[in-house]
A and B are shown apart, each in its own frame.
Chain A
């Protein structure tokens, strides 16, 4: 990577003692080939989805790093890699400087795992339907032996349920007795129950109405202030991202195309894709501003375009963009992977 300009860029200084979580050259590919027989009969080749294709970032302790980007760009895959639900195809993950990615580091992973929790994008699939909510929320408390006395566990579960806007009495219910948003709150309570220091939140508030969302986001911020929690946050709601993040990374087809401190990114987006993304935000003021959808079709991660993956949709694309993948450079306080930015064209 090129010259070291501003300080906010923690992503470029891996190994810095303040980073709690770091990813380096992180990659995950999925084989989605048709069965061998079909390949032979229909003459189809192998197909690989490059869900995450080499990304670097570092999250300092006590801060919030958000990932944004179009559906299918690989955000959830990054989340699952970090918490160890997927094994990386290549690259490193470090937690407090300790290597935890890959099977070779399984012991380290085991040691660090209790310190992190994940809130899943899909609250339906992630709650055991046969357990009462009380047992679901108590499970991480018992697993980590945070409390042993049964009455103390009960009281704690009640507190957690209240914190997320449910009531202690809801502990007796089963997940199916809740609405979508109420279930998501149960999964947030469960994640907090384990008293993690690092929380991966995949669309934690997408299922929630705005007033409950405000409660949960305020709660997350308070916990961060009080307990120094670190978050990896994923959301497609850019206004939410603006409110919770210290740094934002924009993903496109498995790569980070721009990352910067939140204000820098929103005030002065550099990458053409980031600019389009910000223009596509729905307009609540109904000022009649034309919402500009991101032009062009989302390319497939199975056959990503050569060069800059964004070039088929980019208004600034030139010949170089079609052949040479752009590398991230420092530009105005941000890190941007774009030839046009590097050449000073935009």
Chain B
């Protein structure tokens, strides 16, 4: 049977519409996914629907670090061996995964869930900054590592946090910025090169 030639039934149109609202999914992909599911075995469709619901029902934000988790506090915040004097501030939960893969960091995290983006009307009050300040109150944390992305919004957010945290008497550090591994000097832009020079280390 050729689905494309039929006038679209309402539930089908609705599913296409829902897929289309997802990031990175255009109208064509939304159609393709919908028709794929129409043909797929029923168990597969149910499993997908249940997985989506489970994410919404069981996943919460960790009340301490704001990372997504199914248990509050999250595994990292609960871990007895993590260094509780350090907090690494990141933009998104995925950044934690990237840093954890290195295995080199033993402190805690804090997820902002975004960056300051004046043109989009996103200000500090839209980020988890109040929650960060709350965590710094009891004096256990001694160092805050700002690990926002090295682009304009990430740096603006880091500068804003720096100003905010400085008066609290903590050590505030930034991830070293510079050349990405495997990149080519020749193609590096001026900002990256300048930062790399500023952050040079004795060989």
Tell whether A and B belong to one assembly.
no
